[in-house]
Amino acid sequence: MAQDPFRPKVYGGSGLAWTYGYPNTIEGNAPSLFQMKTNMHLFNRPESYKLAAARELARGTQYAAQSKGEEVAYQAADLFLSASQSEKESEALGSQIPSLEKVSGAMEASVSEGTELPLDSKRAKVNLAVTRQRLDAAKLDADYFEMMLAVALGYPATDRVKPRETEQPSFSIPESESGAADAALRNNRDLRQMQSNVLAKELDLRSYRAQRLPQVDLVAQYALFLKQTYVQYFPNNKFQYNNAQVGAAITIPLFTGSATSAMAQQSVTDLRKMRLQMDQTRNRIIADTRRSYQQWQKAEEIRNLTRMQLDLAREQLTVLLVQNGEGRVPMSQVEQARLEESDRWIGLYEAETQVSRAKFAILRQTGTLMAAVGIAPEKMP
């Protein structure tokens, strides 16, 4: 629509009216059997700037749409991670129940025989109850995240989307914290939309200031006259049927009033406010990206530590199994070590989830999340 003043428009029509005196029309043109006319801007700086501003606003709208798409992709990825973690926790806790039931039964028998203290039996029952409660909570969490993942993917809330166990692709993360911040400033869709809005407002300001410049329009028209209308006024056979005019209309503003100046001042004020907001957004992007990068590094360290703890728990379980085979340690101690190993596995699942979540946050802030997960971003016009 902004290009409309610079595109030719053709109007054609006819009419019928009773005429008294010299032939004339309401518009001042000579009456005709058929008339066609067109007009368009050839040189009009205010309209040119308005057209450029409209195009820039359209670009900003595209950036906003891409930002919304990245937000949806991030939410879906986060829900996938949460659902996957809950599923793994449920499986690990479920595998603990048979061993804990076995230990609880053995403890009761040992207490009856007088070889174990009642406190050991009570401890075994508490461990079993705690694990069952954790299992129920993990199942509820898994059901909730699977429901929310279904909703995020466009399915009804009655459906469930279960995450499939696949090897996660390796995501390319900037090598340094400053590199991540620079990439975020280059690719952040919200910041680019604000930049487009600032440029559009600058073009509006130019449009207001260009109101004093001359304007040139193309004008052309054609009319087919009816001879009977003019015969009594042109008795010497100088009448012609086809009549056409083409040329340029030049308009020179002499006095534009105070409204244009006031609107220009308002645009200057809006520009200052928008530039201030843009600076604040830049600082927020840098701070958030650096924080996400630090959280990713911290999550990597925690995951490495959790792996070390898991390796230690597995080695300890192996030693206890050998000692139990030799009759040196009771089975209850072996099952306690097996329970600890399972807990370490759950801790590792959580640590890996936090690493992936931190990576997704960095990719989202650097504007590369959709490409990383295999979604082609919409092309800009």
Domain 4-372 indexed as CATH 3.40.50.20: no
Please state which of the ranges 121-125, 157-161, 254-258, 310-314 shows the lowest mean pLDDT. 254-258
pLDDT single digits (tens) 271-294: 899 899 989 989 999 998 999 899
- pLDDT at residue 302, as a whole number: 93
Contact 79, 150 (CB under 8 A): no
The residue among 302, 346, 322, 286 whose CA lies nearest residue 90 is 346
Q: What is the mean pLDDT of residues 22-31?
A: 64
pLDDT value, residue 9: 60
Provide CB contacts within 8 A for 10, sequence distance 6+. 36, 37, 38
Neighbouring-strand partners of residue 221: 37, 245
Closest CA to 185 of 287, 73, 270: 287
What does the pLDDT average to over 43-63? 84
Give me the torsion for CA of 28, 32, 34, 38, rounded to 10°. Answer: -30
pLDDT in tens, 300-350: 999 999 999 999 988 988 888 888 777 787 777 777 788 888 888 889 989
**What is the SS3 assignment for 219?**
strand
Task: Please give the structure tokens belonging to residue 321.
Answer: 């199994």
Closest by Cα among 357, 59, 365, 60 to 183 = 365
> What pLDDT is stored for residue 189 in this prediction?
85
Query: Residue 256 has what pLDDT?
Result: 72
What amino acid occupies position 132?
R
Q: What is the pLDDT of residue 10?
A: 57
pLDDT (tens digit per residue) in 85-120: 888 888 888 888 887 888 778 778 777 777 667 777
Scan for tokens 């030693």, then name that residue: 319
Q: For residue 125, what is the DSSP state?
A: H
pLDDT, tens digit (0-9, with 9 covering 90-100), for 367-378: 887 777 665 555
Q: 178: pLDDT confidence band, cut at 50, 70 and 90?
A: confident
Q: Rounded to the nearest 10 degrees, what angle do helices 118-152 and 45-113 cross at?
A: 160
Lateral strand order in the sheet of 242-251: 9-13, 34-43, 215-224, 242-251
Domain edges within the chain: 4-372
Instruction: Note the pLDDT of residue 379.
Output: 47
CA distance 96 to 130: 11
Task: Using pLDDT thresholds of 50, 70 and 90, give the confidence band for residue 23.
Answer: low
Residue-wise pLDDT tens digits, 187-208? 888 888 888 888 888 888 888 8
pLDDT at 276: 92
- How far is residue 250's CA from residue 248's CA, in Å, rounded to a whole number? 6
Average pLDDT for 142-161: 88
Q: Check residues 122 and 301 and name the one with the higher pLDDT.
A: 301
Q: Cite the DSSP H helix spans in 153-225.
A: 177-187, 189-209
* Percent of the chain surpassing pLDDT 70: 85
* 344: amino acid identity, one letter: R
pLDDT 10s digits, 254-264: 777 777 788 88
Average pLDDT of span 139-167: 85
CA distance 277 to 264: 20
Confidence of residue 214 (pLDDT cuts 50, 70, 90): confident
Contacts of 244 (CB under 8 A, 6+ apart): 220, 221, 222, 223
pLDDT band at 380 (very low <50, low <70, confident <90, very high): very low
Q: Which amino acid is at 266?
A: Q
Please tell me the distance from the alpha carbon of residue 171 to that of residue 356, in angstroms, as a whole number.
Answer: 9
Instruction: Decide which of 3 and 233 is more confident.
Output: 233
- Give the mean model confidence (pLDDT) for residues 55-67: 84
Q: What is the pLDDT of residue 381?
A: 43
Predicted confidence (pLDDT) at residue 244 exceeds the cutoff of 80: yes
Specify the DSSP class assigned to residue 231. Answer: T
For residue 11, pLDDT over 60 is answered with no
- Nearest Cα neighbor of 143 from 164, 158, 165 is 158
How many helices (H) and strands (E) in the chain?
8, 4
> What does the pLDDT average to over 32-59?
81
Residue 350 tokens, joined? 């959580």
Mean of all residue pLDDT scores within the chain: 81
CA distance 195 to 355: 33
What is the pLDDT at residue 51? Answer: 84
DSSP 233: T
The half-sphere exposure of 236 on its side-chain side, counting CA atoms within 13 A, is: 1
- The sign of the dihedral angle between the CA atoms of 345, 346, 347, 350 is positive
What separation, in Å, do the N-terminal and C-terminal C-alpha atoms of the chain show? 16
